[in-house]
Each structure stands twice: as C-alpha cells, then as structure tokens.
Amino acid sequence: MKLTTLTEALVLPTGTAIEFCCGTVSQIGRWSQGVNTYGPWTIQNITIGDETKKIKVKLINQQELLPDWLGHTIYLTSGNRQGRLIGLKVEIDKYPREETPIIAANEKASISDTPPTGGEITQAQPAPEQIAPRRAPAQDPDSEVPDEYAPVPPMQPSVPQALPFPQAVSKDVDARKAWASTDAGLNRLRRIRLRTLAVAHRIQQDALAMGCQISADHMEKIDTWLAIEAGRQGIIVGVPDCDPPSPHAQ
C-alpha cells in the first residue's frame, strides 16, 4: 500500500488518486443528505492532521462520522477497479473564496480505525497516469455533490456506529502509560460535560430573566446538544488539563 502523507497531499495536482492516507480527526462537520437528479446523496466535512499538517476531508455518500471519532486516527483507503484507484483523490475546495487542497472520499473508498492490509506500506510516489482531468460540477444547483459521484445506490437509514473495540494491549506495551493516555481522553469528556452542564444552567437563568420557563427535560436536551456540538466543532480537542471553575466563582 502506498501511503500519501498529508504534507504530500497538500501539494499534489488536482485529481491525483490516493491509495491510502491517514490522520487524527480534529474536527467533524455536520452530516447532510438529500436527493438530486441522480438519487440520494450525503456529504460531511472533517479535518484530520498529523504532527505538522492538517487537511480537510470531504466524505461523500459515506456513513455519518460521529463525535466518538474525535482524537482517533482515521485510515482512508481507495477502492480498486481493474487495477485503477477509485474513490479517494485530491480536490480543490473553492469555499469561501480561496482555493484550498482537500481530500475527497466517496462511497468507493473505505474508512477504518485500523491500517489497511495488502502488503508493505510505503510512501506514495504519484505517477502521471494517476492524475485525472477535473470534472465539471453537478448541474443540479441544489446539490453539492459532483456528477462524478453519481449515480449512487439507494441510501440506507443512518445508524450510529461505534468504534470497534481496540485490540488487546501487547505485552511489549507499558499498560500504565496506555491507561494514562485513555484516562486523559476520558477526563476531557468529563470536563467538557461539566462545562456544558454549567452553560445549560446559565441558559436556564438567562431564560428565566426573560420570563421564559425551561423544564428539566428541556434542560437535559440543551446539555446534550451542547456536548454534541462541542464534539462536532472540535471544541473538545482544546479542553485544558484542569477542571472548569465553579459557576459560583465566575
């Protein structure tokens, strides 16, 4: 398998096919779906990164990526049709007004939390035959999905998928350090929920000052909504290594 690093992807020509790339998920956008003249479609933008670079990844006709993926390494692998790489390539994002390289992965590419199999992983050396001509955008003005991804098969209802259970810790791994890393991640989740709960109560107080009553059930929904948005917008990644201050101290 030929690995394309994020640094390489940012300078590759538009349309270059990628066999395999990976990075840590730092931001997850909203999962959207709709129907155009070619049938149902879905689209979701995420951001992945490594020690030096970050890049936007556009997921097209893929299962929704849930906030559980934040902080996890994601592996994107192309499909193969008669020896030709399909489903994973470099594109140019022209939104809002800048042309920025991104990676596009449609339903022909696979997503996993484990590296792909299929031989030794080597650094990619893009060949000229991998570079495909740019395609015209979709003719349907109400769709963000290019023609090249259509037609698509009927979409099944979205079912939240949890990450697979990690493999057992090897004897060569320091279990104490491994659990310390896990506990650090769980502590970020604990701290963000403490903060979202405090913000939910602040919303309740502000609503009361405006003469609006918020029920306990509505409060729970507000707290859950805040936590979900913290994950989708990447806020959870920046949670500091300390507990939030008490609301009474603010």
Give the pLDDT confidence of 51-76 residue by residue, as tens digits: 889 999 999 999 899 998 999 999 99
Residue 99's pLDDT is what? Answer: 84
Higher pLDDT, 206 or 234: 206
Residues facing residue 56 across a β-bridge: 47
Question: Any idea how long the chain is?
Answer: 250
Identify the CA nearest to 28 among candidates 214, 233, 236.
233
Cα 226 to Cα 31, 64, 164, 186, 230: the distances in Å are 17, 19, 25, 17, 6
Residue 155's pLDDT is what? Answer: 44
- List phi, psi (to 5°) of 86: -140, 155
Q: Which residue has the tokens 């009553």?
A: 213
CA angle, 232 as apex, 226 and 236 as ends, to 5°? 70
Higher pLDDT, 155 or 83: 83
Range from 42-46, 226-230, 237-241 that averages highest in pLDDT: 42-46
Cis peptide before 244 (omega within 30 of 0): no
Average pLDDT over residues 25-45: 89
Cα separation, 121 vs 103, whole angstroms: 19
Give the pLDDT confidence of 199-218 residue by residue, as tens digits: 888 898 888 899 888 888 88
DSSP 8-state assignment for residue 214: -
Is 60 exceeded by the pLDDT of residue 149?
no
Average pLDDT, the chain: 78
Residue 121's pLDDT is what? Answer: 58
The two three-digit tokens of residue 63, written as one number: 């299962």
**Radius of gyration from C-alpha coordinates of the chain:** 21
Higher pLDDT, 132 or 72: 72
Burial status of residue 214 (CB atoms within 10 A of its CB: 0-12, 13-18, 19 or more): middle
Q: Which residue has the tokens 């933008």?
A: 45
Cα separation, 140 vs 97, whole angstroms: 21
- List phi, psi (to 5°) of 50: -130, -155
Where in the chain is CATH 2.40.50.140? Answer: 2-149
Residue 110's pLDDT is what? Answer: 93
Range from 35-39, 119-123, 138-142 that averages highest in pLDDT: 35-39
Higher pLDDT, 184 or 138: 184
Cα separation, 155 vs 62, whole angstroms: 9
The two three-digit tokens of residue 18, written as one number: 């990628």
Cα separation, 73 vs 165, whole angstroms: 14
Higher pLDDT, 138 or 97: 97
Percent of the chain with pLDDT over 90: 33
User: Is there a contact between 66 and 83 (Cβ–Cβ < 8 Å)?
Assistant: no
Burial status of residue 25 (CB atoms within 10 A of its CB: 0-12, 13-18, 19 or more): buried
Give the pLDDT confidence of 113-129 residue by residue, as tens digits: 888 876 455 554 443 33
**Domain 2-149 CATH class label:** mainly beta
